[in-house]
């Protein structure tokens, strides 16, 4: 049985006072129709018109005006340090989602990309943290990994 239904996403900054939250990985934050479990144990049916990429801080709007917050869940990532400009170029050249920070880059755990980056002199550490990569072209959307043309749920 579903406790809540949401057909609308509210972007970060357009809502307040969430009644509950859902922790979702990067892959899980790309969805159209799915039943999710909230932190408080409720079932939430998300039924959107189109597949949508959710950001940390977005929210599911409920029919009664309440909202359930989207939280980026910790996941296994590769923390990359070294010549960040060169390394970011190689990561982007492979269309790999990347979280860009001033002192490090974060990517999903990928042995092939990790091996390539190590050969380029990168220092790589496996960490567990939320993943909030940069958007695609023009600042929004998702980039695709080296499996071009596939959506998150086709992997």
Residue 142 banded pLDDT, cuts 50, 70, 90 = low
pLDDT score of 138 more than 60 = no
This prediction has a pTM of 0.82
Q: Do domains 4-72 and 75-139 have the same CATH topology?
A: no
Is 3.30.70.790 the CATH classification of the domain at 75-139?
yes
Q: CB of 98 within 8 A of CB of 107?
A: yes
pLDDT, tens only, 18-63 = 999 999 999 999 999 999 999 999 999 999 999 999 999 999 999 9
- From the list 110, 119, 13, the residue with the least C-alpha distance to 58 is 13
Name the DSSP class of 40: T
φ/ψ (deg, to 5) at 151: -90, 170
Give the domain 4-72 fold.
Answer: HSP40/DNAj peptide-binding domain (2.60.260)
Where do the domains of the chain lie? 4-72, 75-139
């Amino acid at each position: 049985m579903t406790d809540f239904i949401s057909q609308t996403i509210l972007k970060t900054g357009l809502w307040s006072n969430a009644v509950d939250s859902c922790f979702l990985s990067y892959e899980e934050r790309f969805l159209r129709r799915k039943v999710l479990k909230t932190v408080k144990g409720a079932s939430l049916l998300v039924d959107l018109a189109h597949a949508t990429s959710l950001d940390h801080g977005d929210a599911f709007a409920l029919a009664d005006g309440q909202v359930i917050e989207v939280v980026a869940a910790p996941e296994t990532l590769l923390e990359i340090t070294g010549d960040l400009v060169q390394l970011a170029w190689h990561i982007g050249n492979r269309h790999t989602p990347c979280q860009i920070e001033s002192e490090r880059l974060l990517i999903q755990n990928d042995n092939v990309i990790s091996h390539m980056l190590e050969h380029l002199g990168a220092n790589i550490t496996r960490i567990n943290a939320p993943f909030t990569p940069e958007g695609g072209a023009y600042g929004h959307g998702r980039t695709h990994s080296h499996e071009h043309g596939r959506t998150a749920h086709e992997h």
